[in-house]
Structure 1
């Protein structure tokens, strides 16, 4: 287990956003099993049955800052931040107005910005790591969810740029790109009528993603592709982008 530099208590601490969702709950379990003290963040009352989950709207920068101060005051340190919270919007570009696009960007991209800025001083002390649970949509085009693709490209690009910047302070960055997950995810708006298929290829489970995250933190990995479809998309999009696009459109337009 990579616990970073000493700071505060002996037990490493991980904060997971989107903690009440399917991937989030498995992340809490996997980090707990790995020996971490775990704090989950989600909307107030979303994780009311789990004492590890704290109510915090990550689109409220003031609430985020106060929450991270409280976490560090209570635990004495912070070693890992997992930016896992995310929502989607399924439909064509013309199906969703600016309000929907803004909401997806606020959660998927700006929420990660707010949490990372709030966590960074404590992560510098421990030589910790920021993890972004992204998606295939963060590095390749996927039809039928333009707002989600835009937000995931934004957060992926941001943390690619931050990796060398944060490395100077001893903080690592891990990008995790799962393919479609069996349980799906929350959406910012109702699906438009006639929406095409929402998945392609063999999906992965929330636990597959959670285990990949914990393994990546332990090994200090920069990037993880979760699932055969994610690995295929990564290589095909780079080697033959037109072939990738044709295959992706065919599989998701049925």
Structure 2
């Protein structure tokens, strides 16, 4: 994740938290976004603000700086997560939407990565989601809000060259698919977002043990495309959002013709 200054939306950045809690009977919904300093995260902040949300961004303390709309949080550290969500509730008073956006990747063949790489990716991309969801859940239940996972095509289908990432995204997707029926009676909705390959996304900063500069193929979408789709999915209370033509094609082909999907995917990525 890389630092990015967040352009102000309808609410001024310095009013987003401190100003909001001074307003008695505040009715604006609150969205908490992890990985908010990154490419997708910073666009999510902008788009949720434009949709009328008070936004609290979480990211590593080194990336937060003095931005009062951000809270430092290492999602792989349970104490850090607990402290961050305590701050969120102290400042904003509620959580209507949790967006699990923070993540890392690792590019390379299975034989190129040791257990430490798999463990690190799983700690961030799966256990980080578990920790943040558990910390936010009581407040989201109280507001009858929505849990959102920024998944990936790799969350429902194999993609060549990223076994650790595929495994972690499958785990996180499975968790959220399991939470949907479990929370059905609570009024909490669950949305899983599957973007295709994102221009300027985490792949550019991934661990390239194999020396591969690009481990994906097909049309890409922008970080803003993803952010717009996420907000639309939340507003429309959708269970699943497929972002980009490649994501939609991969979803249907991998389910209806799984062997064909693997052949096509392998052929394209092996070029």
Aligned to 2:83: 66
**Shift in Å, 1:52:** 1.7
Correspondent of 2:154 among 134, 137, 145: 137
CA distance in 1, matches of 2:204, 2:223: 17
Matches within 5 A, 1:63-142: 63-142=80-159
Correspondent of 2:45 among 13, 28, 42: 28
**CA RMSD between the two structures:** 1.5
Please list every run of 5 or more consecutive structure 2 residues that lacks an aligned counterpart in the other structure.
1-24
Aligned to 1:40: 57
Contact 2:104-2:206 within 8 A present in 1 as well: no
Aligned to 2:264: 247
Please list every run of 5 or more consecutive structure 1 residues that lacks an aligned counterpart in the other structure.
1-7
Instruction: Return the TM-score normalized by structure 2.
Output: 0.88
**Shift in Å, 1:50:** 3.7
CA distance in 2, matches of 1:93, 1:139: 18
Instruction: Give the match's secondary structure for 2:55.
Output: strand
CA distance in 1, matches of 2:64, 2:90: 22
CA distance in 2, matches of 1:188, 1:203: 16
Contact 1:179-1:204 within 8 A present in 2 as well: yes
**Shift in Å, 1:78:** 0.7
**Shift in Å, 1:106:** 0.5
Contact 1:17-1:42 within 8 A present in 2 as well: yes
**Shift in Å, 1:43:** 0.6
Which one scores higher on RCO, CA 8 angstroms, separation ≥ 6? 1
CA distance in 1, matches of 2:66, 2:218: 34
**Shift in Å, 1:195:** 2.9
Q: How many residues of Structure 1 are paired with residues of Structure 2 in the alignment?
A: 247
For each residue in 1:117-167, what CA deviation from the matched residue of structure 2 results, as whole angstroms up to 9, or x when unmatched?
000110111100000000000000111000000000000011101101112
Contact 1:56-1:67 within 8 A present in 2 as well: yes
CA distance in 2, matches of 1:102, 1:194: 21
Matches within 5 A, 1:170-249: 170-185=187-202, 190-195=207-212, 197-249=214-266
For each residue in 1:174-212, what CA deviation from the matched residue of structure 2 results, as whole angstroms up to 9, or x when unmatched?
000000000120689631245374221110000000001
Alignment of 1:163 with 2:165, yes or no, is no
